[in-house]
Amino acid sequence: MSEAKPFRNRLNGLSPKEWLKFQKSWFVHNPPPRRKEVRRHPAKFPESLAQEFVEFFTKPGQTVFDPMAGTGSTLIASLRASRHAIGVELSPIYSAVARELVQEEKARLGPATGGMRCEVITGDAARLETINLPTMDYVLTSPPYWDMLHARGAQAQRSRRSSNDLDVVYSDDPADLGNVSDYAEFLDRLIKIYASLRPVLRPKAYLTIIVKNVKKGGRVYPLAWDLGRQLGETYTLKDEKIWCQDDIRLAPYGLGNAWVSNTFHHYCLQFRWEP
């Protein structure tokens, strides 16, 4: 009787048990409260979630990229996982916050991060050809959910408007995709940004894009599904994981009149560059 072959992991440093756990197609993740210095950003995703993806799709010492870095969630998660990381952020305000948080995280983690590259670049993701970037092993990012931060009726936005130190929108920059009012134009510009990453991606690298379908004007715009279908013409769409949140208070949308769901899930779309 032949002996079983030892487990060989070519993708990451996880055990078989850890690998299988991540393969579940949905998960619940309720992040801890946001720190004061990052609450200014209106749509930050949690480092604790990002780290799980970084640790699955890379090995220690590889390089992670976020072309829309915000306040640096992907970069901080990569540091914690002993990966190099580079982020590009359009807003000088958010990139400055991200740099400060990265330095704070390096100090907290100590000497182990001494050789780790973790860089925030202030720039436009639509013009990555002007930035000298190394080869990337993985992309983890989340785009603006169209122009939904401009929706005045959103409950979260109403509460943010009552505070003088919290941003309601990302910026007033025309290059900011969160300011594009036409859905088709927004989707086209977003896909061009992600497609432009090909020259800096190593073959077989994965891209994870965290996104959500959008409700506007009484209809649903299937942003996640449109992105999966159209970007799937450039990269191979491999799968999805559904991020569920069960700690958000229900609101009585359409109560007694029409169906309007409380949408507490995001799509984590997995693409792969297969040249």
- DSSP line for 62-75: -EEEESS-TTTHHH
CB 218, CB 153: distance < 8 Å: no
Question: For residues 168 and 178, what is the distance between their CA atoms, to the nearest angstrom?
Answer: 11
DSSP helix/strand/coil, 139: strand
| Token reading at 62 | 């590889």
Cα separation, 90 vs 251, in Å, equals 33
More confident residue, 26 or 150: 26
**HSE of 154, CA atoms in CB hemisphere, 13 A:** 18
> Model-level pTM?
0.89
Whether the CA torsion 13, 17, 22, 23 is positive or negative: it is: positive
Tell me the domains of the chain and their CATH numbers. Answer: 16-248+263-272 (3.40.50.150)
Round to whole Å and give the CA distance between 62 and 206.
13
pLDDT in tens, 110-148: 998 888 999 999 999 999 999 999 999 999 999 998 878
Rounded Cα distance between 144 and 166, Å, is 17
3-state secondary structure of 173: coil
Is there a contact between 29 and 48 (Cβ–Cβ < 8 Å)?
yes
Q: Which two tokens stand for residue 34?
A: 């946001």
Higher pLDDT, 260 or 154: 260
Q: How confident is the model at residue 165 (pLDDT cuts 50, 70, 90)?
A: low
Write the pLDDT tens digit of every residue in 76-106: 999 999 999 999 999 999 999 999 999 999 9
Q: What is the mean pLDDT of the chain?
A: 88
